[in-house]
Structure 1
């Protein structure tokens, strides 16, 4: 019902790395963060593979939902609904030996003799469960049962638990089998119409872009402007007729500006004017920028001579593949 896409924060951190000075002291931290986020996303993709084996006629799957509840937002990575029961799934892509002590709230992973503590996914998914139930009630969906699950996407990870857990933690294949068994248990209980729930979820989804510069306390004055060469990665490509040319390696590209525009929206969000675009791309012609922007998949507001372009709903449309 709602497909999974690359989380905006991943694209934002990638844009920040592209335009941050090579010697900046926070580069290593940002690189670790983007690698960690990609690992999490790949774990969610691994879950998607197993979810494909659930019959579409019964199960409706929603990825990357961000909903608002009384002025506060919460994120759900994977929500699976059936007419009788829903499943809230939190995926963790971790390698090593996982130990959980729910009483102490500890979730640790031992890998190559090194022990690391992680945010407790049981507390995380239980918090999401409370918020989702409250959201359902606020939208007049009552008594619909929702089962929280935590799934580990790395098949080589070992799971060690001292006691039974309030929320099951299982490997992906076991998670799917558990979903099937739980559905069979609820199948003959109260049935709900999913169509209005689906419409409400999709209508109320609100994508979110972080203030990435504020997140890492990086001033905008440090951000490199201009168009980056796709080959040598230097900035300052110049407009030559209908193409861009790199002054360092002479590479030519007709699409290099697309990634620069994506970077602008990822780093600064919100809106873009012709003047601001000139400054960011390094073009001094208002007419050339207007023509360039008119060919982009961008929505805008305002009059012909004072257009304001807004962040695209799907930033992936700007990023060259």
Structure 2
């Protein structure tokens, strides 16, 4: 079970790191644009997610990010994408442009439904890993490494010369899309069938992150690195919220934080802004930090 969770974490983190790695190159793009990152929109008939959407006055740019290392071969005629391992074996992936084009179609439909002008919508597939080496069979200028992003955008600005939006209009489109944004809600504990007893109780050291801290004289102490932290329980309660939900009882806090009843009550009262019920049946709401 642990290995399955670890593998999923690595996949999620790889995608997240790949998307964030483009932030440096965004500094070299025209700043009259509106930048939207991690956009996810749910509609009645469809849901779509875009890694990066940049709204330029002349065109909109969808960027699909891939964070893969090594030799990457793409055949522009067949759409076959291969990622090679050091031993010469490879893994085949779906054509990344199909996903980007589906995103473009759904974005176009949403803009039309919202009575906005639909400018040209261009799609790029960007490999963000510093060790990625692209080998393209045929002609495909929109499959690039991240370092090429500023130059490719400059080329697109020359290609799309007609202005469709002023800056204030771009901001309106951006606000509409932001208001439609809905983060994906996932419960990893349930999806991975993790039981409550599988989760170790206690407040992990906020410094070395290897040992459970002890509560002593209203402070948290690490028995190994000797680190002290008045507010280490905040991190622990945030982790509880992510795993088990936004509500917690005194008995649950006692068990999870490994503290006494009175200490749990005091920590919850100072940490949680709202609660319901009397003292015996009180339920506290954990706010997002």
Deviation at 1:79, TM superposition (A): 1.0
| Contact 2:84 2:90 survives alignment (8 Å) | yes
Q: Provide the C-alpha distance between the structure 1 equivalents of 2:8 and 2:74, rounded to a whole number of angstroms.
A: 24
- State which drifts further: 105-114 or 245-254: 245-254
Residue 214 of structure 1 is aligned with which of 166, 172, 190?
190
Q: Structure 1 residues 179 and 304, CA, compared in 2 at 3 Å: closer, same or farther?
A: farther
Matched, 1:46 2:21: yes
Deviation at 1:60, TM superposition (A): 1.4
Secondary structure of the 1:75 match is: strand
Structure-1 residue corresponding to 2:229? 253
| Contact 2:247 2:283 survives alignment (8 Å) | no
Residue 152 of structure 2 is aligned with which of 175, 178, 186?
178
TM-score (structure 1 length as normaliser) = 0.75
Deviation at 1:63, TM superposition (A): 1.3
Q: Structure 1 residues 304 and 172, CA, compared in 2 at 3 Å: closer, same or farther?
A: farther
Deviation at 1:197, TM superposition (A): 1.1
User: Which structure 2 residues correspond to residues 19-168 of structure 1 after superposition, within 5 A?
Assistant: 26-56=1-31, 58-70=32-44, 72-101=46-75, 104-112=78-86, 113-165=88-140, 168=142
| Contact 1:209 1:269 survives alignment (8 Å) | no
| Contact 2:33 2:170 survives alignment (8 Å) | no
Aligned residues: 283
Residue 174 of structure 2 is aligned with which of 198, 201, 221?
198
Matched, 1:289 2:264: yes
- State which drifts further: 192-201 or 45-54: 192-201
Runs of 5+ in structure 1 lacking a partner? 1-25
Deviation per CA, 1:17-42: give whole Å up to 9, x if none: xxxxxxxxx32333333334333333
Q: Structure 1 residues 47 and 281, CA, compared in 2 at 3 Å: closer, same or farther?
A: same
CA-atom RMSD in angstroms: 3.0
Deviation at 1:303, TM superposition (A): 6.9
| Contact 2:25 2:146 survives alignment (8 Å) | yes
Deviation at 1:81, TM superposition (A): 0.6
Deviation at 1:119, TM superposition (A): 4.7
| Contact 2:59 2:121 survives alignment (8 Å) | yes
Deviation at 1:148, TM superposition (A): 1.0
Matched, 1:244 2:200: no
Structure-2 residue corresponding to 1:278? 254
| Contact 1:62 1:78 survives alignment (8 Å) | yes
Runs of 5+ in structure 2 lacking a partner? none
Deviation at 1:251, TM superposition (A): 5.5
**Which has the greater radius of gyration?**
2
